[in-house]
Structure 1
């Protein structure tokens, strides 16, 4: 992975959660975690997006812990440190593609599942 980007549109502003996309305070936000990064294998590189469960697996942190860190005064630095821990790691990815990806080849794929690099697949045997 050569770069990682954690997108947080809601930040604490004057003790309110503030959406910088809408430019207004948000009372009951629906918070979701996504990490955008680049993977590389012998065939090339591709941008990938990991949501919630897969992002937590990559970072080995729960979303609540990341959110708590981000709301601290040095939150940006803390998040950057967590993200830098996984740069260069090897993982196995199950990639999810959609019609959107087929129509827009430059669009990022979605990480369906992420496994440790040493994960062995167990194939089901067919018994008749």
Structure 2
């Protein structure tokens, strides 16, 4: 499910794209440590994703959302609020009609909590899978293997036998 309850965009620093903070009417970038005179609107849309293991949130940011809605957040913030929200929802309606693969990367900061609650989407692809729904391709930071979920490992195949290589499990 895609929800816009927490909004669909944020104001960002034009130099580094980090969210700007308000301080007595002034906007400030903590990364650049500078006042921001002209912030730019950037997308941030949250997808609630559920499977048999539980529920989590995938957060899609500016470039991936732009591909879906075919507009920038800055363009839509210039439109009326109803038109902007309608354009965002319209862009996501195609997700509800086709199978979508969300690619995410799990970073060390995702694992600081015992149960990670959200992950940043690195790419959104429409798949050739039949029907509708979400698929997730997960890459663990520092690991070249792609896994099928945040708490599972993709089996490694022994190149000589073609069988699953379980030596990592024995070491754990």
TM-score (norm 2): 0.50
- Give unmatched runs, 5+ long, in structure 1: 11-18, 120-125
Q: Is residue 47–residue 107 contact of structure 1 (8 Å, CA) maintained in 2?
A: yes
* Residue 103 in structure 1 maps to residue 131 in structure 2: no
Paired residue total? 107
- For CA contacts below 8 A with separation 6 or more, give which structure has more relative contact order: 1
Query: Which has more radius of gyration?
Result: 2
Question: Do 1:95 and 1:112's aligned partners in 2 also have CA atoms closer than 8 Å?
Answer: yes
More strand by percentage: 2
Q: Is the contact between residue 9 and residue 21 of structure 1 (CA under 8 Å) also seen in structure 2?
A: no
Q: Which residue of 2 aligns with 1:71?
A: 78
1:94 maps to which residue?
A: 103
The question of 1:45 aligning with 2:79 is answered no
Most deviating of 77-86 and 36-45: 36-45
CA RMSD of aligned residues (A): 2.9
Tell me by how many angstroms 1:39 deviates.
2.3
Question: TM-score if structure 1 supplies the norm length?
Answer: 0.63
Aligned to 1:21: 22
Question: Which sections of structure 2, spanning at least 5 residues, go unmatched?
Answer: 13-19, 28-35, 130-158, 160-172
Secondary structure of 1:80's aligned partner: helix
Task: Name the CA distance, whole Å, in 1 between partners of 2:50 and 2:88.
Answer: 17
CA distance in 2, matches of 1:69, 1:52: 12
Runs ≥4 in structure 1, deviation > 6 angstroms? none
